[in-house]
Structure 1
Amino acid sequence: MKGFPGGFGGGNMNNLLKQAQKLQKDMEEAKKNLEEKEFEVTSGGGVISVKMNGKKEILELNLKPEVVDPEDIEMLQDLIISCINEAYKKVDEESNKEMSKLTGGFNIPGF
């Protein structure tokens, strides 16, 4: 008996291995491309902006002077946190979208 039932032997196994290697290469390339992208998010009607790369590193944090109220530091803190969290969400959404293109929606841990 050659190979396994269902066609997982011989040439079919080689084809499967080649497809897996191509998928891995494509996923690594997509991950690299994502890491190089920049994402910008604003909060509070544009008074705060955060720029983040695909590695989830904050590149810029900008505050317009009118958002700085010494009497209401808590509001400023909340706006900054909200803006940063939205930037993380945007990176995650883009990452999931790109990986779904490659995997057909199949979730592969670590990517």
Structure 2
Amino acid sequence: MFENFDLSKMSAMLEEAQKQAQKMQEDASNKEFTAKSGGGMVSVSMNGNGELIDITLDDSLLSDKESLQILLISAINDVSKMVEDNKKLATTQMLSSIGGFGAKS
């Protein structure tokens, strides 16, 4: 079953994967994603690691707690999806570059 299996190649592939993963994490922390809701009344920004880095609220929402909550939830969900989609894309690209494990673009 493993007669043609070369451990040295597997070790090199794993080392390359580790380097790529570290670079991917560094790149992610430098990316910023922003989503808006309520026609721009709420704006939420996250970095590529999924850390919330900024929230901007229109002053008119401060007296309407229910609307503020709804718009904030919407913007946070949207920006979280952007970050997750970016992570999936980066992972697929990384895997395809180190050994063909991911889908080819």
TM bin (shorter chain): 0.7 to 0.9
Aligned residue for 2:37?
Answer: 43
Over the residues paired in the alignment, what is the CA RMSD in angstroms?
Answer: 1.7
Decide which of 67, 79, 89 is 2:71's aligned counterpart.
79
Identity %: 30
Number of residue-to-residue matches in the alignment: 97
Normalised by the size of structure 2, how large is the TM-score?
A: 0.81
Unaligned runs of 5+ in 2: none
Normalised by the size of structure 1, how large is the TM-score?
A: 0.77
Residue 94 (structure 1) aligned with residue 86 (structure 2): yes
Q: Structure 1 stretches (4+) deviating beyond 2 angstroms?
A: none
Q: Deviations over 1:85-108 (max 9, x none)?
A: 1111111110110001111365xx
Query: Within 2, Cα distance between the matches of 1:103 and 1:15?
Result: 15
Rg (Cα) greater in structure: 1
Query: Within 1, Cα distance between the matches of 2:51 and 2:62?
Result: 27
